[in-house]
Amino acid sequence: MGARLVSARLPVNRLAAGAALVAVLAAYFELHESLWSARLALDVAFVAFVLLPLLFALPWLALPARTARWLPAAAALLVAAAIIADVADAPVPGAFFKLGAVTAVGFLFASLFEGVLWAAAIAVIVPWIDAWSVWRGPTKHLVTERRDLFTSFSIPFPIPGEHAAGALGLPDFLFFAVFLASAARFGLRARATWLVMTLSFGATMALAAYTDIFGGAGLPALPLLAVGFLLPNLDLLVKRALRGPREH
């Protein structure tokens, strides 16, 4: 019974693909400094079209687990593992524990919505808060004044051939999971949503690489992420809104 339940919630092929992907990404995280060194444009293209899609494939593979009864326990264990890895200064396993933890919490958060318009409302509101935070709020303070603390609340994406790495804050991964789970739960275009949201992070990273609008604090990732959720589903969301806010 237990084996059948796990298979129903997270199919074996997804488990195997996820394990293989974690192994590949972990090897890259460990060895990236010894890889090729390229121009900025090629680095941006590699991160946007290869590294980030591979990283965000993990929440996609975990998507069937969003309704599993063991998800709250898994979320708690992953949070604990992420904290332990951070204290032990183990950044590579810590990155995957953090990704797993915020993905699980995002799935749980999305399960509380009474209708898809709740997710749409968040997609409209949260980007403004994120932009303010990066402009002159807590995110800017963390990035410019408390870089060590920002590292604990972010997940890196290392640049090949470089010691440096870009990073996305944990809220970016959290809302990615919230929007992805909402798209799947409420019958939106989940595949297109995943693709456009993933590419939105690459676009934000490219803009950050060539601009300095917020004075060294990077760029807020949630505005384009919200567009990545809303744009592929706009017609469906309008239909749901016309039917009523409690449409499931």
Crossing angle, helix 116-136 and helix 222-230, to 10 degrees? 160
pLDDT in tens, 41-99: 898 899 999 999 999 999 999 999 999 999 999 999 999 999 999 999 999 999 999 99
Tell me what pLDDT residue 180 has: 98
Among 182, 162, 156, which residue's Cα sits nearest to residue 237?
A: 182
Contacts of 168 (CB under 8 A, 6+ apart): 154, 155, 157, 201, 221
CA atoms within 13 Å, Cβ hemisphere of 139: 23
Residue 143 near residue 216, CB atoms below 8 Å: yes
The whole-model pTM stands at: 0.89
Res. 115: pLDDT tops 70:
yes
Q: Where are the alpha helices (DSSP H) in 32-115?
A: 40-46, 52-62, 71-87, 91-110
Q: Which residues of 217-231 are buried (b: 16+ CB within 10 A; e: fewer)?
A: bbbbbbbbbbbbbbe
pLDDT in tens, 194-240: 999 999 999 998 888 777 544 444 678 999 999 999 999 999 999 98
d(CA 66, CA 70): 10
Q: How far apart are the first and last CA of the chain?
A: 30
Confidence of residue 176 (pLDDT cuts 50, 70, 90): very high
